[in-house]
Structure 1
Amino acid sequence: MRFIHAADLHLGMIPDAQHPWGRERANALFHSAEKIVDLVLQENVDALFLMGQIFHLPPLQKDLEYLHKLFQKIPFCHVFLFCKKTEENYFLRSFSFSENVHVFTEEQSRFYLPEPEMEILAMQEKDFSFSSAESFSLEHGDAIPILLWNERRAEEFLSLEKAQNSEHATAAKESPLASLPFSYIALGGESKRSVFANGKAAFPGSPEPLSAENTGEHGVYLGSIHPITKRLESLSFFPISTLQYVTLHLQLDPSVGQEALKQGLLKKIEERGKQNIYKIRFSGKRDPETKVDPSLFPKELRIVECLDETLPQYDFYALYKEHQQDILGFFIRSYLKKDLEDLSPMEKQSLFYGVSALLEGGKS
């Protein structure tokens, strides 16, 4: 039995809405749904598990018709998704999908599929009772047991496993999910992509990054379960995102001039791809004439954050001689009662920032 596990499409969301590329990012989320359906066709899978939030906001009729048209392209594949019983989900609860689409509305549901033969325990409870999953037993002996758990609290078990298997732990312990009687555990929620519980439980993350915190590749999991042994034979990540959020760190020194800094930044971005969206951090010491400001970035670049942690490398003694009778000189003298090397890191930072502010203020 072959399947695709995707989650948290957040259709209708506008990532980076305040930036010029916001609408493009919103369209990319819808395009990710189309890519998933294309992958179903390409791989000829039996099941598509859509976990987490499919829509960012409660969907309208037109949103569901869009999804319906996509699912009609894959009548051979059984699609599973969740919908909570709330008034705001009225359209989703009442929508008539094709017979290959199965929508779970109860907090806990049990579902049998004769071809391919699967028995599914679907849960979206806030107060997850582990006993419900532990006591699960097949009513059809030849079926493949699958757990679909659509609740953020599942992340607690991932955190627990990481803590238990950290280098500080006295002995690595098995994840609580690993002992559950299922061939595969499909999870959804706001989480980074991860596989745990001895490889049989996974968070796919969203197929497209939703914010600057969602770095790295994004996509879906493609898996296969043996119909006789009911063991997970393979689980591989398939990237489908159009771009990534990338964090760049540039370490400066006083020898780097303004033009060299600009060209170095552009080179790094070209290496990683201009289509990506960047968070950039500058650190180190720089020539006071070298500025970290928006002029470094051509308008076509996508920058969501620029953090300047650099310190200008001033000649404080020369500045003091030049400004002995004004506030800048008095400020420098208050620090130079000690040698520069004897100043604490906080004192050095205060000196650098104070001198920068006074020099900039004097220019205005």
Structure 2
Amino acid sequence: MRFFHLADVHLGAVPDKGTAWSDERARGIYESFYQVLETARLEQVDGVFICGDLFHRQPLLRELKEVSYHFARCAPVRIFIIAGNHDPVTERSNYVNYSWPDNVIFFKGDACARTYISEWNCYIYGLSYHDREIIRPLYANLRPDLFGAAAPDSTHILLAHGGDSRHIPVHFNELENAGFDYIAFGHIHRPWLAKSGRIAYSGALEPVDKEDEGPHGYMEGEVTAKGVRVRFVPQATWTYVNLNVEINGQMSWEEIKDRAKQLMDRAVKPGRKAVFKVTIIGTRDMDMVWDLDELYRLGQVIQVTDASEYDIDIERLYSQNKDNLLGRFIERAKDLDMDEDMKKKVLYYGIRSLYDTGDR
């Protein structure tokens, strides 16, 4: 039996909201999700496990209908769903009375239930969030044998969501030895696979915000006579890239911008799209005049940080400014009773403050 394990799709999210590319990002999440479903159909995968946060918030009825259409197109692929903390089954949720296609099994209850798929000789377990936060360890002491007798040589797969203090706390060592052959987790947006191979976070299908760095996609698994084998499959079209632009005191502002643009162009892989978090590092001339907002106009830049330092020659600066406020500050700072490293910091930050405010 082959399966795809995915989670944290967050349909309806608008990453980087307010930017020129945010609408494209929102559409891209749907497109990526539908592509995975189409891949499952074409490759004749047996099941798709969606382990919470299919939607970024409560789904509208029209959104459920749209997703259901794509699920039905996947048949005979079976779809198994649990709701997560972003799309819980609340009293007024459209999940409550929604009729899914015949190939979809939605674990709607807030207590763990199981279903048996005889063709696979496999039991699938799951429960849904009914609140945005659940601090009770609902997976503690959970074991397949608590649900009664099982078919001989059957496989047991748990769909789960959470793992932190506010979203179903988990003792992973205990859960790993609870008797499940595979535990498919959602909630954490980065993929992770336990050394045993029995527990995995698929991570978010696409990055949802600028903290979602690294690869994104889903887990592909296969149940064999030797157990469950799982591998990560990259899927995301978009990625966040940390871009360090190293400068020196000899560079002009135009040169710095050109270097940043060149680095951005090199960082984008074919067929992928990037959103950049730019950090300026190195040293710059004391008289450098720049407008960091101009870096946002170089491309899809979501964050700019100035971590550079002034290229300061204390003695030269003092000799040029003996008769003004800056010179008097340097003279007093040099006489402070403290270690040299701390004195250097006081001089640096004081000089930078005076230059930045123009009060010298």
TM-score by length of 2: 0.86
In the other structure, the counterpart of 1:98 is 101
Q: Deviations over 1:280-304 (max 9, x none)?
A: 2223322224456426526251222
Change (3 A) 1:350 1:277: farther
Measured after TM superposition, the shift of residue 358 of structure 1 is: 2.2
Change (3 A) 1:191 1:176: farther
Which of 125, 128, 146 is 2:138 aligned to?
Answer: 128
Measured after TM superposition, the shift of residue 68 of structure 1 is: 0.7
Range that drifts further, 180-189 or 314-323 = 314-323
Q: Given residue 254 of structure 1, which amino acid in structure 2 is its aligned partner? A: G
Q: Deviations over 1:240-295 (max 9, x none)?
A: 11111111223433344434433322222111118311112223322224456426
In the other structure, the counterpart of 1:354 is 350
Q: 1:152-171 counterparts in 2 under 5 A?
A: 152-153=163-164
In the other structure, the counterpart of 1:249 is 244
Q: Deviations over 1:120-171 (max 9, x none)?
A: 22134743253222645652224321111233348865xx77xxxxxxxxxx
* CA distance, structure 1, for counterparts of residue 345 and residue 302 of structure 2: 26
Paired residue total: 343
Range that drifts further, 296-305 or 63-72 = 296-305
Q: Given residue 194 of structure 2, which amino acid in structure 1 is its aligned partner? A: F
Change (3 A) 1:146 1:361: closer
Change (3 A) 1:313 1:93: same
Helix, strand or coil: the match of 1:79?
strand
Range that drifts further, 200-209 or 80-89 = 80-89
Q: Deviations over 1:25-71 (max 9, x none)?
A: 11111112211112212321000000121111111111101101111
Q: 1:222-301 counterparts in 2 under 5 A?
A: 222-226=220-224, 229=225, 231-232=227-228, 234-273=229-268, 275-290=273-288, 293-294=291-292, 297=295, 299-301=297-299
- Identify, as 1 or 2, the structure richer in helix: 1
Native 8 Å contact 2:141 2:178 kept in 1: no
Q: Given residue 163 of structure 2, which amino acid in structure 1 is its aligned partner? A: R
Change (3 A) 1:314 1:85: closer
Q: Deviations over 1:158-207 (max 9, x none)?
A: xx77xxxxxxxxxxxxx333323222111111342100150121101110
Q: 1:108-119 counterparts in 2 under 5 A?
A: 108-119=112-123
Native 8 Å contact 1:292 1:308 kept in 2: no
Range that drifts further, 137-146 or 303-312 = 137-146
In the other structure, the counterpart of 1:141 is 152
Range that drifts further, 98-107 or 26-35 = 26-35
In the other structure, the counterpart of 2:133 is none
Change (3 A) 1:260 1:198: same
Change (3 A) 1:146 1:253: same
* CA distance, structure 1, for counterparts of residue 43 and residue 276 of structure 2: 33
Helix, strand or coil: the match of 2:175?
helix
Q: 1:25-40 counterparts in 2 under 5 A?
A: 25-40=25-40
Change (3 A) 1:291 1:192: farther
Helix, strand or coil: the match of 2:249?
coil
Change (3 A) 1:272 1:120: same
Native 8 Å contact 1:195 1:202 kept in 2: yes
* CA distance, structure 2, for counterparts of residue 30 and residue 87 of structure 1: 26
Native 8 Å contact 1:110 1:119 kept in 2: yes
Q: What percentage of residue pairs aligned between the two structures are identical?
A: 26
Q: CA RMSD in A?
A: 2.7
Range that drifts further, 141-150 or 24-33 = 141-150
Helix, strand or coil: the match of 1:57?
coil
* CA distance, structure 2, for counterparts of residue 277 and residue 196 of structure 1: 30
Native 8 Å contact 1:244 1:276 kept in 2: yes
Native 8 Å contact 2:190 2:215 kept in 1: no
Structure 1: gaps spanning 5 or more residues? 162-174
Native 8 Å contact 1:149 1:185 kept in 2: yes
* CA distance, structure 1, for counterparts of residue 77 and residue 14 of structure 2: 29
* CA distance, structure 2, for counterparts of residue 146 and residue 298 of structure 1: 46
Measured after TM superposition, the shift of residue 10 of structure 1 is: 0.9
In the other structure, the counterpart of 1:304 is 302
Change (3 A) 1:183 1:24: same
Measured after TM superposition, the shift of residue 331 of structure 1 is: 1.4
Structure 2: gaps spanning 5 or more residues? 130-135
1:151 and 2:157 aligned: no
Change (3 A) 1:130 1:45: same
* CA distance, structure 2, for counterparts of residue 129 and residue 103 of structure 1: 18
Native 8 Å contact 1:2 1:47 kept in 2: yes
